[in-house]
């Protein structure tokens, strides 16, 4: 195990689209987005249709002209997601009615489809879901309550009354695999999860707080375990966007100075220290189920373990 190298293979951080943010405010480019060369994905409440005719898992992508014809006069908003390596524009069409998409469609969420999608499509999907979640939750100005209008090719919501632009929100959060002096790993079970479902410790960074301070606070508040005060007790390994609904997960390994478990019974129902042999045996028996490999939590665990582990769970 090497803690000094950052993650380079997290699912939602794979190389993908060039966001080309400078094009979002180009009126002619935005006006021409639904053209024959554009690739369009449909989004409804965080899900997208999958191409049933593809040999492998792939999004159902239409040209801009096909999507415009299917849409007709129906209401929808779009988001310019970026350019692929060949310079082709990718667009998300956010619809309130899945029936607008022609044909018989099979829809999937990012958690289920993301792990098997090509890099460019996974990049498009994670941005589209993040924007879709934001749009559905922010329909009125937070200052005056006025209705917001989409701008900047989907990346702003503007209040005409106050002339304010509202931007997508991303909440910083930490997620950490804690180890002890014997190199055991600490996992916890959320109070709302079924028995056997366990994960690493996570929580949001509070205003005025550093990510490192949040690691120490969250671990202690939820499990009673104390992380060492020195800088060497924390190792940052990488981050992953997590649009469920709007987080950026910053991943750490940490070393405990006090391993006494005292869970809060509010968020965490139980926490257990596992040796590598104990963890594999529990995974193989089904007594322990780990998060799916779409999550940074699974990567933190398997980085410590040294290889993939069997079994997972999903909501």
2 pLDDT more than 90: no
Q: What is the DSSP string of 254-268?
A: EEEEE------SSSE
Interval 209-264: pLDDT, tens: 999 999 999 999 999 999 999 999 999 999 999 998 899 999 999 999 999 999 99
Interval 42-85: pLDDT, tens: 999 999 999 988 888 899 999 999 999 998 888 789 999 999 99
At how many degrees (to 10) do helices 296-305 and 276-285 cross? 120
Report how far residue 86's alpha carbon sits from residue 99's, in angstroms, rounded to the nearest whole number. 31
Report how far residue 261's alpha carbon sits from residue 116's, in angstroms, rounded to the nearest whole number. 37
| H or E, element range at 132 | helix 119-137
Structure confidence at residue 315 as a pLDDT band (50, 70, 90): very low
Report how far residue 174's alpha carbon sits from residue 172's, in angstroms, rounded to the nearest whole number. 7
Backbone angles phi, psi at 75, to 5 degrees: -80, 135
pLDDT at 4: 53
Q: How far apart are the first and last CA of the chain?
A: 30
pLDDT at 1: 43
pLDDT at 258: 98
Q: How do the domains of the chain map onto residue ranges?
A: 11-137, 138-169, 171-305
Q: Does domain 171-305 have CATH number 1.10.760.10?
A: no
Strand runs (DSSP E) across the chain, as ranges? 39-43, 47-50, 62-63, 77-83, 89-94, 106-109, 148-151, 156-159, 164-166, 171-179, 185-190, 201-204, 226-227, 234-242, 247-258, 268-274
Task: Answer whether 0.75 is exceeded by the pTM.
Answer: yes
Query: In 10 A of CB 167, how many CB atoms?
Result: 11
Round the average pLDDT of the chain to a whole number and report it: 92
Q: On the CB side of 227, how many CA atoms lie within 13 Å of its CA?
A: 29
Burial of 255 (0-12, 13-18, 19+ CB in 10 A): middle
pLDDT at 76: 83
What is the average pLDDT across 186-193?
96
Interval 280-305: pLDDT, tens: 999 999 999 999 888 899 999 999 99
Two tokens, residue 47: 């899900």
Structure confidence at residue 3 as a pLDDT band (50, 70, 90): low
Q: Which fold has domain 11-137?
A: Nucleoside Triphosphate Pyrophosphohydrolase (3.90.79)
């Amino acid at each position: 195990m090497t803690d000094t190298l950052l993650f380079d293979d997290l699912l939602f951080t794979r190389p993908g689209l060039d966001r080309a943010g400078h094009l979002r405010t180009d009126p002619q480019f935005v006006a021409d987005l639904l053209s024959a060369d554009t690739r369009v994905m449909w989004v409804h409440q965080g899900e997208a249709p999958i191409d049933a005719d593809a040999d492998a898992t792939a999004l159902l992508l239409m040209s801009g002209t096909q999507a415009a014809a299917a849409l007709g006069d129906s209401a929808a908003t779009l988001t310019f997601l970026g350019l692929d390596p060949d310079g082709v524009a990718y667009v998300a069409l956010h619809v309130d009615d899945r029936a607008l998409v022609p044909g018989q469609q099979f829809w999937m969420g990012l958690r289920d489809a993301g792990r098997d999608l090509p890099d460019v499509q996974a990049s498009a999907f994670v941005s589209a879901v993040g924007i879709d979640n934001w749009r559905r939750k922010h329909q009125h100005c937070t200052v005056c309550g006025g209705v917001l209008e989409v701008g900047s090719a989907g990346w702003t919501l503007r209040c005409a009354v106050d002339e304010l632009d509202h931007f997508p929100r991303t909440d910083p959060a930490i997620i950490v695999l804690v180890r002890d002096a014997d190199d055991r790993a600490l996992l916890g079970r959320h109070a709302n999860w079924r028995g056997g479902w366990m994960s690493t410790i996570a929580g949001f960074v509070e205003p005025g707080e550093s990510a490192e301070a949040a690691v120490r606070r969250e671990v202690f508040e939820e499990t009673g375990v104390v992380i060492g005060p020195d800088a060497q007790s924390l190792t940052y390994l990488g981050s992953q966007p997590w649009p469920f609904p709007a987080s950026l997960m910053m991943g750490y390994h940490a070393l405990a100075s006090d391993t006494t478990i005292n869970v809060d019974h509010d968020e965490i129902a139980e926490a257990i220290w596992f040796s590598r042999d104990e963890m594999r045996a529990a995974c193989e028996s089904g007594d322990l189920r780990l998060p799916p490999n779409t999550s940074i939590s699974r990567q933190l665990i398997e980085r410590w373990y040294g290889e993939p582990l069997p079994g997972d769970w999903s909501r």
